[in-house]
Amino acid sequence: MISTKFIIITGGVLSGLGKGVTTASIGLILKSRGFKVSVCKIDPYLNVDPGLMNPYQHGEIWITKDGYEADLDFGHYERFLDIALTNKHNITTGKIFLSVLEKERKGYYLGQTVQIIPHVTDEIKSQIKNIAKMDNAEILLVEIGGTVGDIEGMPFLEAVRQLRLELGEKNVIFIHVTLVPIIRGEQKTKPTQHSVKELRSLGIQPDIIICRCQEELKDETKEKISLYCNVDKDAVISNHDVEDIYEVPIILERQNLGRILLDKLGLKERYNKFDEWIKFVEKIKRIKDYVEIAIVGKYTKVVDSYISIVEALKHAGYKLNHKVKIRWINSERLEYDENYLKELMEVDGILVPGGFGKRGIEGKIKAIEFARENNIPFLGICLGFQLAVVEFARNVLKLKDANSTEFNPNTKHPVVDLMPEQKRIKQLGASMRLGEKMIKIKKDTLAYRIYGSEITFGRHRHRYEVNPKYINTLESKGLIFSGISEDSRAEILELKGHRFFVATQYHIEFSSKPLKPEPVFVSFLKACIDYKKEKRNAIKNKK
């Protein structure tokens, strides 16, 4: 049996420092040295999972293969490490309390007074160890969400303190991520000092401090943090701003983070394949051409709501030697501002992502109509897929009342309707059609040419579907459903005679990796690049 090493990543000063990217980068560095690495995310909130959280508060919801609604950091883990995580890789206060209370009701504690210590902390340690055992991991990264000092995070910090005491300092090490702001040109260390002081007051001494900062840490700043935080100077690591998040592992590795980690864990590297990642990032830096994509959504004020879509576009762009410039289009404004709609003529492609609720829906439909009528490359995902059907039914089939019953339960033409099994569900949490499903692709279609196969797999998160009663009518007018699930649900649509008009019910963005871009995104961007060239040539010919 493998004896797992644990790396605990905590955060201080404020949230949103990029612990997820830092954790994923550390995992990549270790994986490139030949170790089997897995990741666990601890979220101290009382929710059982983040599935019902508002995107404005929490950003995107990531869907795992097994259908778990997870924190967006799962996306960073899977993209950087090319692994597939599950519901068991996320520990929340809600999950822990549920488990403890279920055990108490069954008499598991034999009449003891159930308390935070030892019962809750024991449950936390047990779940962390079970993840390591389940994955047969040699190194398990454990990211604790929130910041040191948050009251809801206290039981988790106490649990990992106990874990180190039980397993020893060569088997459990602590990395603390803090902020080093620049004020009047000076890198300020006080926030880091106070954060580490708070952590030490809980019995945890960090082994490594990773400092988020605008500019690379100066030598004197490292010395100051080292002295006041009781950490070796070479273990004070600068994680300064970079153009692309895929550079983060490189700037950490240049400061010998990999060697420091292995030394502290008592391990020796088996090989080093990190050069592959360096070549990938060097390629990104050489790219000069760009293509501009409009993302039409209602959460555009919080771009983390669409982070996986942005990353998937970037992956496809790297493959095609183009960077992707995003133009954020607020779908609510499209509903009343006709001049705003003209901005869509300036971009090279239009993407309508997923979402829930009626707000901004008509604006998204206008954008889809604009893309269809002006022969602009279009990609729809989840709700974007459903609204492409609504738009086509209204404006091509002339079913003016066509809608989804999500937005108009009394529509005469419910071209998108609640799935039959969803009508029997009485709770909202974790009750949608979730997770990876197999999709059968029809031959002689664009989808078949894109995938080069009759089968693909995609991750889902939806309650509504294209109403099968309307499919034949829609197809008779040129809207082809080229991908169908095993249980006969519409999954992919494409439009005959259009340069590129494709939409998927499943979330293609969750399948994309930096070195393995998702095929639909690649095909979409290729069409956008070709469209941009056509526009440029047309301007030249006019001159």
Assign 3-class secondary structure to 444-462: CCHHHHHHCCCEEEEEEEE
Give, in words, the CATH class of 287-419+429-536: alpha beta
Which of the 8 DSSP states describes residue 335? T
Average model confidence (pLDDT) across the chain: 95
Kind plus residue range of the DSSP H or E element containing 26: helix 19-31
| pLDDT above 60: residue 1 | no
Sign for the CA dihedral angle at 291, 292, 297, 303 comes to positive
Give, in words, the CATH class of 5-189+198-281: alpha beta
The residue written with tokens 């088997």 in the block is: 171
| pLDDT above 70: residue 16 | yes
Q: Are 145 and 44 in contact (CB under 8 A)?
A: yes
**Domain limits of the chain?**
5-189+198-281, 287-419+429-536
**Same CATH fold, 287-419+429-536 and 5-189+198-281?**
yes
The amino acid at residue 175 is: I
Give backbone dihedrals phi and psi of 320, rounded to 5 degrees, phi first: -100, 10
Q: Which tens digits make up the pLDDT trace of 44-70?
A: 999 888 888 887 777 899 999 999 999
SS3 string, 338-387, reads HHHHHHHHCCCEEEECCCCCCCCHHHHHHHHHHHHHCCCCEEEECHHHHH
Q: Are 279 and 305 in contact (CB under 8 A)?
A: no
Distance CA 226, CA 212 (A): 15
Q: Which tens digits make up the pLDDT trace of 140-170?
A: 999 999 999 899 999 999 999 999 999 999 9
Q: Which tens digits make up the pLDDT trace of 491-522?
A: 999 999 999 999 999 999 999 999 999 999 99
| pLDDT above 80: residue 98 | yes
Predicted TM-score (pTM) of this structure: 0.95
pLDDT recorded at residue 2: 62
Active site residues: 382, 507, 509
Distance CA 101, CA 55 (A): 30
pLDDT recorded at residue 540: 67
| pLDDT above 80: residue 104 | yes
Q: Are 240 and 251 in contact (CB under 8 A)?
A: yes
More confident residue, 53 or 308: 308
- Helix axes of 519-542 and 307-319: crossing angle, nearest 10 degrees: 70
Distance CA 427, CA 97 (A): 20
Q: Which tens digits make up the pLDDT trace of 230-289?
A: 999 999 999 999 999 999 999 999 999 999 999 999 999 998 999 999 999 999 999 999
